[in-house]
Amino acid sequence: MLVNDVTTAALRGLADHENAGKVLSVFVDLDPSQFGTRAARATMVNSVLDRASHAVEQAGAELGHDAREALKADLERVRSALESDLDLSGARGLAIFAAGRSDLFEVLRLPAGIDHDPVVGDAPYLEPVAGLGHDERWAVLLANRQSARLLWGSRDTLIEIALVESDVHGQHQQGGWSQARYQRSVDMDVKAHLKDVAEIAFARLQRRLPAGILLATPEEMGNDLEEHLHPYLRERVVGKLSLDVEHSTADEVRGAAAEVIDEAARAQEDELLERLKEGLARSGPQGRAAAGLPAVLEALTEQRVEVLLLDDGTTHEGVVCPQCGWLGVEGDECPADGTPTEHRDDILPDAVDRALTQSARVVVLRDRPDLGSHEHVAAILRY
């Protein structure tokens, strides 16, 4: 089972962290197809540490003695972590953020490997992992005439959280009135069972309603289970799965659900892109969208962004004000307070940080052409 420690809360906490010095951000690829053996992983870790050491050395040349020594200590903490017995079960990658002078040391397990050089900066380098930070949770409800199972979690980390078993009589084999009466009794038992299943599902899910619910029932049950669900759950049913309710393993459920969840996620991206298109088509205050780097940076500075959209792998130069955080494409001085700006070879990590600190969602698009005419960056605005 894959794990993903990247949540909106985790990213926002890192973005909000007040740093007293430089932050070392290190990314590790644990893809088992390439690094499945202990020797292969050791070679990869050594390579990562060598690159991190080079990044620390380069950054340290421009720092004072204390800051340089602190950065070296951060590198050693990362080294110790990678050479220790970390719990890597279910992880396909790691992101490590270290800044000892700010009491920061965070290790995030990732569901996918990230091939990115270590970064030394004024803040945690979050752009590579921002696209993995989906808080959306899904539920899979499997039920037959006498038992049910409820799984909940992300696409890759669905876990079983409830099991329901009811005492439902079997089919009566004799004919006549006796069989009819017995069958009515069985039908009543099944309805009571489905009612119990629906109530338990709502009790377990009502505090945090899932983005979507998948159902798996025998074909002869049709829509019986869905009809018993609470309206809040029924409106979130997005698909059905063909699975053995009692004998399918959790991995088999996750595998079957992943395809449907991917389709639903794609549909959500379509919805966001349609909102962007509609927003750009309107003029004035009604046009709640921004496209292109200058417009998006302006909206982020004004804290108006609801969703930041980026094409995977996009980079843009820009400037940032170290005093007030103003973001821009160019300029030697901040137009807000006159502070000399700092140049960035890639301004998008600062943009991602700013989006997260204002509780905006960051969506990284892959293999989609929609943002190509907008410098590969756009935003849906709150107002």
CA contacts within 13 A on the Cβ side of 2: 19
Cβ proximity of 147 and 163 under 8 Å:
yes
Residue holding tokens 């050693």?
76
What's domain 8-130's superfamily in CATH? eRF1 domain 1 (3.30.960.10)
Strand ranges for the chain from DSSP E? 23-29, 93-99, 104-110, 119-121, 138-143, 147-153, 159-165, 212-216, 237-240, 289-291, 305-311, 318-320, 327-328, 342-344, 361-365, 377-381
Cβ proximity of 291 and 378 under 8 Å:
yes
pLDDT value of position 175: 42
- Pick the closest to residue 210 from 194, 192, 233, 187 (CA basis): 233
What's domain 138-265's superfamily in CATH? eRF1 domain 2 (3.30.420.60)
- Pick the closest to residue 265 from 92, 135, 126 (CA basis): 135
Residue holding tokens 């088999």?
252
Q: What is the pLDDT along the chain (383 residues), one digit of tens a residue?
A: 567 788 878 888 999 888 888 999 999 988 877 776 778 888 888 999 999 999 999 999 999 999 999 999 999 999 999 988 777 777 888 999 999 999 999 999 988 888 899 999 999 999 888 877 655 789 999 999 889 999 988 877 788 899 888 765 554 344 444 544 545 566 788 889 999 999 999 999 988 888 899 999 998 888 999 999 999 999 999 899 999 999 998 889 989 998 888 888 888 899 999 999 999 998 766 679 999 999 999 999 999 999 999 998 899 999 999 999 999 999 999 999 999 999 999 999 999 999 988 889 899 898 899 999 999 999 999 98
pLDDT value of position 284: 66
| Segments making up each domain of the chain, as ranges | 8-130, 138-265, 282-381
Residue 129, phi then psi, degrees to nearest 5: -105, -5
Fold of 282-381: 60s Ribosomal Protein L30; Chain: A; (3.30.1330)
Model confidence, pTM: 0.71
